[in-house]
């Protein structure tokens, strides 16, 4: 009896184990999110009076086919990731931005991602995102376009904090290059008339204690006053580092991928206007 009882329990245990494995297989595969190790490493050599080289990492979509044309997402990191190790810009899953290129999202929207790293410099104006480093980013984009099949009408840029400000700055500086921009927790660059036709989705939190939300409020208001259509998610809380939450917004990636250069798409999702406006 004991032997039969033991075998019966063993069979039930194996059955239970199989059921658990089956249930796990049905769960969403969150573990398949993109990782820094999925990115290749390269460096753009400085030219002219540029103070230094530009390290960068880039992701090639799985199953890349040169006969097809792919979008490119450019990610601009914040001030804490400055340096020349070509690693830090992808820390914390690129401040949440790697959610955009998870296995599930790549299956639906295969694309390249570029993550350059700005120099820490000497603090005398040659560090961070500036005209020199943003110009280098543009050269990397051109280099990738020559090397890979990238759709020139579907180049998108996003960034956080200092990189959020750089997102505003790069589209103002190169207004005909990008199809859409997603600045987060940053500040505007002025000259907004140059980007009136550019689809924008800005994110910021009211309780940001590092970059005041009013800086994004003013930039959004300025573009809207000129006739531009800007989506604005203005969180009531979340502090400065809202980025993982923002990049997880379900509508964000489909909205981004729907944009084409020189073709303004009406937003298919709601926007959150600044309080009292």
**How far is it, in rounded angstroms, from Cα 80 to Cα 87?**
12
- In this prediction, residue 25 has a pLDDT band, given cuts at 50, 70 and 90, of very low
What's the whole-model pTM score?
Answer: 0.84
In angstroms, the Cα distances linking 207 to 22, 179, 214, 238 are 44, 30, 11, 7
pLDDT tens-digit series, residues 158-187: 999 999 999 999 999 999 999 999 999 999
């Amino acid at each position: 009896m004991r032997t039969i009882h033991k075998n019966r329990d063993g069979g039930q245990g194996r059955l239970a184990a199989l059921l658990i494995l089956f249930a796990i297989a049905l769960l969403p595969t969150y573990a398949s999110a993109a990782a820094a190790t999925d990115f290749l490493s390269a460096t753009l050599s400085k030219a002219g009076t540029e103070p230094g080289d530009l390290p960068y990492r880039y992701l090639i979509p799985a199953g890349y086919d040169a006969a097809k044309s792919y979008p490119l997402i450019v990610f601009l990191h914040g001030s804490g990731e400055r340096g020349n190790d070509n690693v830090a810009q992808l820390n914390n899953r690129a401040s949440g931005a790697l959610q955009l290129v998870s296995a599930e999202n790549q299956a639906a929207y295969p694309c390249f991602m570029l993550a350059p790293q700005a120099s820490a410099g000497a603090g005398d104006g040659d560090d961070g995102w500036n005209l020199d480093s943003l110009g280098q980013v543009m050269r990397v984009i051109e280099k990738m376009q020559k090397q890979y099949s990238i759709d020139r009408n579907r180049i998108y840029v996003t960034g956080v904090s200092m990189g959020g400000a750089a997102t505003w700055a790069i589209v103002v500086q190169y207004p005909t290059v990008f199809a859409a921009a997603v600045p987060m927790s940053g500040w505007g660059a002025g000259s907004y008339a140059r980007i009136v036709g550019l689809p924008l989705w800005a994110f910021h939190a009211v309780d940001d204690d590092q970059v005041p939300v009013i800086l994004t409020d003013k930039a959004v208001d300025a573009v809207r006053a000129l006739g531009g259509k800007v989506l604005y998610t203005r969180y009531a809380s979340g502090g400065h580092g809202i980025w993982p939450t923002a990049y997880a917004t379900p509508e964000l990636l489909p909205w981004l991928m729907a944009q084409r250069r020189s073709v303004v798409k009406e937003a298919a999702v709601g926007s959150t206007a600044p309080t009292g406006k």
